[in-house]
A and B are shown apart, each in its own frame.
Chain A
Amino acid sequence: MDVILFTFFGLVAIVGAVSLVIQKHPISSALSLVSVMVALSVLFLLLGAEFIAAAQLVVYSGAIMVLFVFVIMLLNAGAERESRKAGLAQFLGLPLTAVLLVFASYVITQSMSNAKAVKFGAFTGGGPREVGWALFTQYLLPFEVTSILILVAIAGAVVLARKEID
C-alpha cells in the first residue's frame, strides 16, 4: 500500500510541477500548484507528519493559494507573452538544473546508505501533541520571534498595497 500511494502521489506531484512550469496562463499554474501541495500533504501523512500535513492543506493550499488566485484575478493577468530577448539563463538554465539534479541524486544515494525504509505508522511522533510540545518548550523563542515577523509582514503588506489618498 505504501508503494502504491507513494508512486501515485509522487507522480501527481511531478506532473503538477511540470504543468505549473509549462502552462501559459497564471490561473492554470496556480491550480497545478494546488495539486502539487495536496499530493505533498499525502506524502507528509505517509511519513508520519500528521500535523504538518494538516497545516500544509490549511495554510498552503488554503490560505496562500487563495491569496495568489485573488491577486491574479485582481490584476486580470492574462496569458504570458513570448519574451523578446533570450538571456544567459535561457541557454544555461536547463543543463545546469539537470546537473544539479544528477549531483543531488548521486549525493543522496551515496550518503544515505543506512536510510530506513518508510512504512506508514512506524513513526508516530508527528502528531499535534508532540509538535506543540516541541514548539512551546525547546523552540519557544523562535516561535515568539515568528509572531513579530508576521506582525511586520502585515504592516508591510498594508503599507505597500494601500491606495494613495491625497
Chain B
Amino acid sequence: MSQLLPPGFFTATVPLNAYLILSAILFAIGACGFLFRKNIITIYMCIELMLNAVNLSFVTFSYQFGKVDGQIYSFFVMVVAAAEAAVGLAIILTIFRNRGTLQIDEIDSLKN
C-alpha cells in the first residue's frame, strides 16, 4: 500500500490559508442564501452557517498565534448564537401565528 503512494503522502501538511479560504467560501455561500431565499427559517439557518464560518476563522487564527484566545471568542459566538436561536425562533413562531405565512415577501406591512 505505502509503495503505491508518493513519498510524504501521509505526513504532508495543509497550508493555513486553505482553512481561511474555506471559511471565506462558507461565508459567501451563507450570504448568497441569505439574499436569495424567501423562507424565514432557511434564512435563519444561513445566518447560522455564516456564524460557523467565522468560528472557523477564529480557531484558525488561534492556531496561527498559538494562543487560546481565538477559541474563547469562538465559544462566545456559540453562546450568542444559542441565545439568538432561542429568541429568533420564538419570533418566527409569533410571526407565523399572526400572519399564517413564513414567506418574507408576504410580511411587508412596514413598507406600506
User: A residues touching B (Cβ–Cβ < 8 Å)?
Assistant: 1-3, 6, 10, 13-14, 17-18, 20-21, 26, 29-30, 33, 36-37, 40, 43-44, 46-49, 51-52, 55-56, 59-60, 63-64, 67-68, 71-72, 74-75, 77, 80-81, 83-85, 89-90, 93-94, 97-98, 100-101, 104-105, 108-109, 112, 115-119, 123, 125-126, 130-131, 134-135, 139, 142, 146, 149-150, 152-154, 156-158, 160-161
CB of B20, distance to nearest CB on chain A (Å): 5
Question: Chain A contacts of B107 at CB under 8 A?
Answer: none
Question: Chain B contacts of A116 at CB under 8 A?
Answer: 16, 63-64
Does B63 contact A123, Cβ atoms closer than 8 Å? yes
Give me 4 other A-B pairs in contact (C-beta within 8 A), A1-B10, A89-B36 excluded: A47-B63, A89-B35, A115-B17, A156-B86
Does A108 contact B14, Cβ atoms closer than 8 Å? no
Interface of A is mostly: helix
Does A105 contact B39, Cβ atoms closer than 8 Å? no
CB of B75, distance to nearest CB on chain A (Å): 6
Q: How far is the CA of A57 from the CA of B71 in the complex (A)?
A: 15
Pick from A17, A55, A63, A146: contact of B26, CB under 8 Å? A17
User: B residues touching A (Cβ–Cβ < 8 Å)?
Assistant: 9-22, 24-33, 35-39, 41-42, 44-46, 48-49, 52, 55-56, 59-60, 62-64, 66-69, 71-72, 74-76, 78-87, 89-94, 96, 102-103, 105
Question: Chain B contacts of A67 at CB under 8 A?
Answer: 85-86, 89
Pick from A2, A83, A109, A123: contact of B66, CB under 8 Å? A123
Report if A77-B14 is in contact (Cβ < 8 Å); known contacts: A17-B29, A142-B76, A154-B86. no
Report if A149-B93 is in contact (Cβ < 8 Å); known contacts: A90-B35, A112-B20. no
Does B16 contact A64, Cβ atoms closer than 8 Å? no
Does A55 contact B45, Cβ atoms closer than 8 Å? no
- Closest B residue by C-beta to A159: B90
Residue among B21, B22, B71, B74 with max Cβ neighbours from chain A (10 Å)? B71
Does A47 contact B22, Cβ atoms closer than 8 Å? no
Residue among B13, B36, B63 with max Cβ neighbours from chain A (10 Å)? B63
